[in-house]
Amino acid sequence: MFARFIEFVTNHYVLVSSFAAVLLYFLYTESRRSGPTLSCNELTAKVNSGDAVVLDVRSNKEFGAGHIASSIHIPLEKVKERITELEKYKDKLVIVVCASGISAGSACTALQKAGFKTARLQSGINGWNSQNLPTVKK
């Protein structure tokens, strides 16, 4: 199977190169469009200074298993319909947290369209937990 893949790549290197370039461009533009990423330390500093709030977009079950203290919980699929609940935070940076840092991008995009400043937690709650940072259980 792997030998056939190598054969395909060598026979169609222009096609494969073009696909790789388009994929990389898509990933780059998608990450830029959804806002910057913050490390756990940057998140902590911004929240502690009062400049930011944390929005957790994971499912109810995931949120209940452990979340960053004082985070607001709105599941990803409900962000657009519940965006008015966040209006009082328009003057602050909304740091969106998901499981791994990937699905937070779509929430950031929706929030930006509504006039919010956003950022994503790099590596999501998984990165937070890997650094043994504290979480609160519901």
* pLDDT (0 to 100) of residue 49: 97
pLDDT at residue number 93: 97
pLDDT band at 46 (very low <50, low <70, confident <90, very high): very high
Position 29 pLDDT exceeds 80: no
The verdict on 47 and 102 lying in the same domain is yes
Q: Are residues 27 and 62 in the same domain?
A: no
- Both 87 and 40 in one domain: the answer is yes
Task: Judge if 45 and 26 occupy the same domain.
Answer: no
Q: Do 66 and 22 lie in a common domain?
A: no
pLDDT at 103: 87
Looking up residue 65, the CATH number of its domain turns out to be 3.40.250.10
Statement: residue 43 has pLDDT above 70:
yes
Does 136 fall in a domain? no
Kindly tell me if the per-residue pLDDT of 30 is higher than 70: no
Average pLDDT, the chain: 92
Q: Does the pLDDT at position 32 exceed 90?
A: no
Nearest to 58 by CA among 42, 74, 72: 74
For 37, 80, 89, the CA distances from 83, given in Å and listed in that order, are 21, 5, 11
Provide the pLDDT for residue 24: 87
**Sheet bearing 37-38, strands edge to edge:** 37-38, 117-121, 93-97, 52-56, 72-73
* Residue 33 confidence (pLDDT): 63
For residue 55, the cross-strand partners are 72, 96
Give the mean pLDDT of 44-49. Answer: 96
Q: Find the domain containing 112 and state its range.
A: 35-130
- Kindly state whether residues 98 and 83 are assigned to the same domain: yes
What's the pLDDT at 23?
A: 87
How many domains is the chain built from? 2
